Amino acid sequence: MFKRNKLVNIVKLYFSILVFISLLFAKPYRGGELRTIESYKYGRFEVRMKSAPGSGVISSFFTFHDYWADGHTSSAYWNEIDLEWLGRYNDKIHTNLIVHDQWDLPELLDLTFNPNEEFHTYAFEWTSDIISFFVDDQLIKTVDNPVYVDTMNREQKIMMNIWQSTSAGWAGPFSASSTLPTYAFYDWVKYYIWVPGTGNAGTNNDFILLWEDNFDSWDTNRWEKATHTWDGNNADFIYANVVFQSGYMILCLTTPSNTGYSGDPLSIETKNIPLSFSLGDAYPNPFNSNVVLPVSLQKPGEIHFSIYDIRGHLINSSVNRFLDRGKKNIHWNGTDQDGKSVSAGTYFLRVSNKDASITKKILYLK
């Protein structure tokens, strides 16, 4: 018994030392990163998002060759294509390429809108000949220098993260008390495979859409959350700061005591974007059997309809394809995806297409 107690005490001491060491070397803030499990070589990489505001804050959409996972430690294996948003600016986007031995090609480009307040679509096309960057399908930058393009030749994962940079000269000075928590919102991500001469999308129709993720939930077959950090990053990445809610993937930069997303789902709504559709008021509201949501379409197309509960959990969803413009009605009868009646309470009806999304709040009575 004495030996057993001694062993238990040694184990407790060991774990106490590990906890102390982890606290000693922990970063002061908590961020988040989502990355694909699969890696890709060439293609069109596209996202619709709203970046995180705040001096010293970086939110991103990029691809990266995870050479550490391949067992390499040398930067000679580094490949990375970056779109980054520096929260200190309300009218700029940062692009960069990183190839072997950390050669990089950073450039800060002007925007005609505030990316921290509005959802917009961003993309880059990566082929064996050229790398091009786009904002709302408008070309903003091309790189065809063989020094970069020829050496950007390794498969890369699609990644998104939010972090606090220690480089005040680049990211700006940081104040946790006036900035945190801050969030970046991601509406969807699309990946198009590069098929020169035979595609139907992108530059010269050289790309075909392979998959799209609308972030109605965490697809664990496609995405994994990260737990790491690096020199120059003042935040540790944690699972809790990658949140799937109300049809968005939300990356959170927080203090250690206030992790996750605690905002109102309605605060994520699209603002100041010309809409290809509009919504009327849901009726009757409150309702107890069937609710009608009027939709006015400016052009034919596909409309996604999703219902979320007050906690942001997806309850039901559907896709409506309309062949003509004009006024339409979308119905919901108070059931979940399996056809079972939901409990009484507050729900959010979200309607979206590739351009925008709008959310309405309703009350279901029984």
Dump pLDDT digits (tens) for 230-246: 999 999 999 999 999 88
Place of tokens 């994962």: 157
Q: Is 278 or 167 the better-scoring residue by pLDDT?
A: 167
Task: Tell me if residue 224 is catalytic.
Answer: no
Three-state SS at 138:
strand
- Residue pair 139/206 in contact (Cβ under 8 Å)? The answer is no
Q: Is 163 or 26 the better-scoring residue by pLDDT?
A: 163
Q: Which domains does the chain have, with CATH numbers?
A: 27-264 (2.60.120.200), 274-364 (2.60.40.4070)
Of the candidates 33, 46, 80, 125, the residue annotated as catalytic is 80
Please state whether the peptide bond connecting residue 181 to the residue before it is cis, i.e. omega within 30 degrees of 0: yes
pTM score, two decimals? 0.72
pLDDT for residue 346: 85
Task: Tell me if residue 84 is catalytic.
Answer: yes
pLDDT tens figures, 64-123: 998 766 666 667 788 999 999 999 999 999 999 999 877 899 999 999 999 998 889 999
Of the candidates 33, 38, 46, 84, the residue annotated as catalytic is 84
Three-state SS at 244:
strand
Q: Which whole number is the average pLDDT over 199-203?
A: 92
Give whole-number Cα distances, 199 to 23, 107, 207, 223, 267, in Å.
51, 30, 5, 26, 37
Given a cut of 70, whether residue 46 has pLDDT beyond it is: yes
| Average model confidence (pLDDT) across the chain | 87
